[in-house]
Amino acid sequence: MLKINNLHAAVDGKAILMGLNLEVGSGEVHAIMGPNGSGKSTLAQVLAGRDSFTVTDGSVDWDGTDLLALPAEERARAGLFLAFQYPVEIPGVSNAYFLKAAVNAVRRHRGLPEYDAMDFLARVKAEMKAVGMKEEFLYRSVNEGFSGGEKKRNEVLQMALLEPRLAVLDETDSGLDIDALKIVAEGVNRLRSPERSMIVITHYQRLLDYIVPDKVHVLSQGRIVRSGGRELALELEAHGYGWIDADGKAAAAASGARS
């Protein structure tokens, strides 16, 4: 369903993604691992449509649609969800208002009736219960003063409400202790379904103990340098990223020679 072909992207003139290829089928969960600075978060931001990244080459096909041609909000409405590594605080806007505005924007787009206040409240409370969030978080400003775990739970809550076809989880485990991590992972697992694909971006393998991926890819120097099954993640844990870096450089050098 998602086909990334030779993707190149840059920020402030600095190339970060340098020929990334990836295919994700319906219902599949792919993990993307890699050292800091390898381009993991850039990939997430580019897929979600962040303007500050410039796609310099390549394409992303999503069920026959040119994903890169859509503005961020249309990608979201079409069912692409990015769980942010650093969810943004928006003081002055209540979580309830924000969630309702987002859900109704997506429902409108899908030809579904918009929720009224009552229906929305019923729905959101049920979902909050499922991710273990207290109701008071509805009336607080979006992410403002939330702990790391609360912010990530709020992301999972939004994912549940927006029912995406493709969810990109950007280092959802960062800054979480093991208990918070389990709760968030449970929330994600609950949302796994044959119609929903996921890209799980992480630096550490431990998240993959809880969200078990179908495939694991290693990103280095802006491209995928290894792909494999679950066991690749364990190998990375055992040996660290050192060998990958060397590999990545070798690959980059080789490609430099080719072009």
Partner 1 sequence: MSTIDAWVAHQRERACQLPGAALPWLARRRADAIARFADLGWPTSRLEGWRHTSLAFLDQQALAAPAFAPHPAFALATLRAAFDEGDHWLVFVDGRFAPVLSVTGMLPAGVKAGALSEALNSAPDAVEAAFGSADDSASPYALNLALCSDGAFVHLARGTALEQPLHLVFIGATGAADTHLRNLIVADANSEATVVEHHVGGGATLGTVVTRVQAAQDARITHVKLQQQDAQAIHLAQIEAEQARGAYFASHSLSFGARLARNDIRTRFAGEGCETLFNGLYHVDGRRHVDHHTLIEHARPLGTSREYYRGLVDGNARGVFAGRIIVAQDAQRTDAIQRCDNLLLSRLAEADARPELEIYADDVKCAHGATVGQIDEDALFYLRARGIDTDHARQLLTYAFAAEVIERIAHAAVRKRGRGLLLSSLPGGARMEALQ
Of 138 and 208, which CB lies nearer to partner 1 in the complex structure? 138
Which residues have a Cβ under 8 Å from the Cβ of 67 and sit 6 or more positions away?
2, 47, 60, 61, 75, 80
Q: How far apart are the first and last CA of the chain?
A: 30
- Supply the minimum distance, in Å, between the C-beta of residue 164 and partner 1: 10
Q: Are 21 and 4 in contact (CB under 8 A)?
A: yes
Q: Are 127 and 160 in contact (CB under 8 A)?
A: yes
| Tokens describing residue 34 | 């890699």
Of 19 and 49, which CB lies nearer to partner 1 in the complex structure? 49
Site string for partner 1, 60-99 (x = CB under 8 A): -----------xxx-xxx---xx-x--xxxxxxxx--xx-
| By CB under 8 A, residue 106 contacts partner 1 | yes
| By CB under 8 A, residue 48 contacts partner 1 | yes
| By CB under 8 A, residue 100 contacts partner 1 | yes
- Supply the minimum distance, in Å, between the C-beta of residue 108 and partner 1: 9
Strands (E), 160-220: 166-170, 197-202, 215-220
Of 26 and 141, which CB lies nearer to partner 1 in the complex structure? 141
**Angle formed by the axes of helices 117-131 and 178-190, to 10°?**
130
| Tokens describing residue 136 | 């008071």
- Supply the minimum distance, in Å, between the C-beta of residue 252 and partner 1: 30
Residues that bind partner 1 (CB under 8 A): 48-52, 71-73, 75-77, 81-82, 84, 87-94, 97-98, 100-102, 105-106, 109, 117, 141, 158, 162
